[in-house]
Amino acid sequence: MKEQQSIFTAISDPHRRVILRLLKQGELSVSELAKHFDFSGATLSHHLSVLKSAALVRVRKDKQKRIYTLNTSVVEELLLVVNQLFK
Amino acid sequence: MKEQQSIFTAISDPHRRVILRLLKQGELSVSELAKHFDFSGATLSHHLSVLKSAALVRVRKDKQKRIYTLNTSVVEELLLVVNQLFK
DNA sequence: ACATTATTTAGACTACCATCTAATTAAAGT
DNA sequence: ACTTTAATTAGATGGTAGTCTAAATAATGT
């Protein structure tokens, strides 16, 4: 898997890890996610695009909103990779 | 654990992950590690200091050499944190 | 003492990253 | 049509990270 680096880059930022934890509890729109952060919507959009590039999250449209969800299969893959890093 | 960020930063670099995988197989001196990489000794020293700051590795002296080893307790901690990120 | 080997530290450079504001796209409601 | 809401994209900026060469530190051997 050649995009391994993109996953490690994605989880290296603390704000993105918070996003992942929030999505772990259920899907959220961008504006719902925004309530949890101080930075601008543009920055949030940037973080989401990094997570999307790593395929850690998926997005779908619902009217004007874009709903983000955890991509559990890639998450499982990450857990495997990290475990194999050491075990 | 307040140094969680330093651990994620440490494993975000691919060269440092190679170092960790090498040390997983047994302790190594800096010059032994150097054989596996193209970059300068100064750069290797920098990577080792990042890993050391995150407490992922430990170092001891043996004559002129410095022997690096995996710090398995912090490694276990990392595995736990990553797992809790998603599960 | 001096030279050699092993490693780190200092300082510089480039590239990338997180962030911002402003502009843009897109869908919905009036 | 126009306005509002939702989100992304463009472009700029400051800071940090990875890398290098050169210099410094430290231990060994001659």
Across the range B2-11, mean pLDDT stands at 89
Lowest pLDDT segment from A1-10, A25-34, B63-72:
A1-10
A contacts of B86 (beta carbons < 8 Å): 20, 24, 70, 75, 78-79
CATH of the domain at B47: 1.10.10.10
Which CA-bearing residue is nearest the C1' of C28?
A64
Within-domain flag for B24: yes
- Residue A50: which of A10, A78, A20 has the closest Cα? A10
Could you tell me which residues are beta bridge partners of residue B58?
Answer: B69
Tokens found for residue A2 = 């050649």
Distance CA A67, CA A61 (A): 6
- Is residue B1 over pLDDT 80? no
Q: Which DSSP symbol is given to B55?
A: T
Tokens found for residue B85 = 């990120």
- Nearest nucleic acid nucleotide to A37, CA to C1' distance: C19
Domain enclosing residue A47, as ranges:
4-86
Could you tell me which residues are beta bridge partners of residue A61?
Answer: A66
Across the range B64-82, mean pLDDT stands at 92
Positions of E strands within chain B: 28-29, 57-62, 65-70
How many domains does one find in chain B?
1
Within-domain flag for B12: yes
In this predicted structure, what is the pLDDT of residue B49? Answer: 98
Within-domain flag for B87: no
Tokens found for residue B70 = 């995996």
Q: Is A81 on the interface with B (CB under 8 A)?
A: no
Q: Is B75 on the interface with A (CB under 8 A)?
A: yes
The answer to whether some atom of strand C lies closer than 7 Å to the beta carbon of B34 is yes
What is the tens place of the pLDDT at every residue in B9-29?
Answer: 999 999 999 999 999 999 999
- Quick one: pLDDT band at residue A54, thresholds 50, 70, 90? very high
- Is residue B2 over pLDDT 70? no
Residue in this structure with the two tokens 């994620």, named with its chain if needed: B8
